Amino acid sequence: QQQVKQSPQSLIVQKGGISIINCAYENTAFDYFPWYQQFPGKGPALLIAIRPDVSEKKEGRFTISFNKSAKQFSLHIMDSQPGDSATYFCAANRGSTLGRLYFGRGTQLTVWP
Amino acid sequence: DSGVTQTPKHLITATGQRVTLRCSPRSGDLSVYWYQQSLDQGLQFLIQYYNGEERAKGNILERFSAQQFPDLHSELNLSSLELGDSALYFCASSGYGTRGNEQFFGPGTRLTVL
């Protein structure tokens, strides 16, 4: 059973556009929601993370929006660049346990110049 | 560079064989996690160690085992290998306290079973 569901599977965006990736979770015990970026041949790299006590977190061009009541969170990439082309994974865990991450299936983002 | 190192980078072996994957966590990190990444299953959690002790198990096959040594490096042992074990294997590490949730991934070991 997939604990974190991610969509879309793939996304094509023009340079300068906004990329939006969505995730949903079921387990209300989850309280830590990171996003990872993975380039081909590399390991996932932590991009940005949020806890449910805030509804939005912004770091540079990357923003996480969090909707606790809907059990959804999303990643927005503003002014998308060709260098952002990668696979993005959302994840979740029970932060207090410092335990395993439950990952979404990933979104392959392609930004056209 | 995450600070997590994994060796080897690539491993090609035959069915029925046994291999060992090695991971060195970031300096000071006590937790080590192993994940398997395949096209059909995505990123799947295998096992977690904390300061030498097994802490949690995920979808790890009985043919697989792991350990964390006193110097905190970890090894994942895969035996009686099958074609379906071909995948990327990642190690991640995390610290403690308020930043203990941040898991940093190594570059991975690509295992090919022929």
User: Does position A60 have pLDDT exceeding 90, yes or no?
Assistant: yes
Q: Report whether pLDDT(B13) > 70.
A: yes
Both structure tokens of B58: 């995920």
Contact B90 A95 (CB under 8 A): no
Specify burial of residue A83 (Cβ count, 10 A radius: 0-12, 13-18, 19+): exposed
A52: which 2 tokens?
């449910």
Three-class DSSP category at B83? helix
| Model pLDDT, residue B99 | 66
Chain A positions in Cβ-Cβ contact with residue B103 (cut-off 8 Å): 34, 46, 101
What pLDDT score was predicted for residue B97?
Answer: 65
> Is the pLDDT assigned to residue A82 strictly greater than 80?
yes
Rg (CA), chain A: 13
Local confidence band at B47 (pLDDT 50, 70, 90 cut-offs) = very high
Whether A89 sits inside 8 A of B4 (CB atoms) is no
State chain A's mean pLDDT as an integer: 94
pLDDT score, position A94: 86
pLDDT of residue B101: 78
Yes or no, beta carbons of B42 and A36 under 8 Å apart: no
- Spell out which residues of chain B touch residue A98, defining contact as CB-CB under 8 Å: 31, 50, 94, 96, 100-101
Exposure string of A26-40, with b = 16+ CB inside 10 Å and e = fewer, is eeeebbbbbbbbbee
List pLDDT tens digits, range B23-34: 999 998 999 999
Contacts of B2 (CB under 8 A, 6+ apart): A43, A45, B26, B104, B105, B106
Residues in B closer than 8 angstroms to A93, CB to CB, are 101
